[in-house]
Amino acid sequence: MSFVEACFGDGDDLAAVRDEVTTRLGADHLIDAAAVVANFHMMTRIADATGTPLDPGTAGMSVELRNDLGLDALTSARL
């Protein structure tokens, strides 16, 4: 989880977290984790770019967050 958080954070601790994952799990598992993170990031961008709507469950439980962040006002917002 710390690796995922570091990937999307400010980048200050990414190198240290990569080293920790490599030490604990090995380089192959670091590569696998990085591939999973990249794939989920890619899928989200594709969904956003194609206007894929949120499923009803996600739309319902994210109303407050979307309102707080003003996400529904964005040009790319699709529900």
Q: Has residue 55 been placed in a domain?
A: yes
Task: Write out pLDDT tens, residues 35-72.
Answer: 999 999 999 889 878 878 888 998 899 999 999 999 88
The number of domains in the chain is: 1
Q: Has residue 20 been placed in a domain?
A: yes
| Predicted local confidence at residue 78, as pLDDT | 57
pLDDT at 7 over 80: yes
Q: Has residue 53 been placed in a domain?
A: yes
**Domain residue limits at 47:** 2-73
Burial letters 16-55, b for 16+ CB under 10 A, else e: ebbeebeeeeeeeebeebeeeeeeeeeeeeeeeeeeeeee
Q: Has residue 13 been placed in a domain?
A: yes
pTM: 0.65
Q: Has residue 61 been placed in a domain?
A: yes
Q: Has residue 79 been placed in a domain?
A: no
Q: Has residue 78 been placed in a domain?
A: no
